[in-house]
Amino acid sequence: MNLDDQVQLLLNNAPEDENVRNAMARAVGPVLKSLASRMQHLNYFVIRGTESGFLITTLSNRTLPQVEKRAIYAFSSEKDARAFPSSSHRDCTVESLPVTHILFQILALESVDSIIFLETSGQSDRGVEIRRRDLQQLVQQQLQKFQRARNIPPDLA
């Protein structure tokens, strides 16, 4: 499924509320597509923990161990996802998801700081990190642009 189809599927599954659908179509969708277009893959493999939630990994800063962040890993291959140490837990499953859907779900997960896309199979030490805070700011900026455009008086010309 290409990025346009992925975003369209999200729009199709959005609540029936017109304001929500407009925000999805004009702000959330374009941001997700823009970020997803920078990724190398259309789908990634994620590890689901208990209760179908994403497996969240707590990472410590090497120089400041007291500084932690909570991240979700998205793997370019199923093999890499299954090789991740925590994936062997009996309650964990590996699932392939469209990249835009992963990004969309991250928006709502307050318990997560970042998602790390591991682009190259076998290289778990290099990835593309997208911070949830940055994603939220991009969506907020798009929403503000959309709101300003809607508030332009019709007799401006």
- Each residue's pLDDT tens digit, 4-42: 999 999 999 988 888 888 888 989 999 999 999 999 999
Handedness of CA 136, 142, 145, 151 (dihedral sign): negative
What burial letters (b/e) apply to 96-127, b meaning 16+ CB within 10 Å? ebbbbbbbbbbeeeeebbbbbbbbeeeeeeeb
pLDDT confidence tier of residue 156, bands split at 50, 70 and 90: very low
pLDDT confidence tier of residue 120, bands split at 50, 70 and 90: very high
Q: What CATH superfamily classification does 3-150 receive?
A: Uncharacterised protein PF11572, DUF3234 (3.40.1350.90)
How confident is the model at residue 154, as a pLDDT? 52
- Each residue's pLDDT tens digit, 43-101: 999 999 877 689 888 888 888 888 899 999 999 999 999 998 866 667 789 999 999 99
How confident is the model at residue 88, as a pLDDT? 61
Handedness of CA 109, 76, 3, 27 (dihedral sign): positive
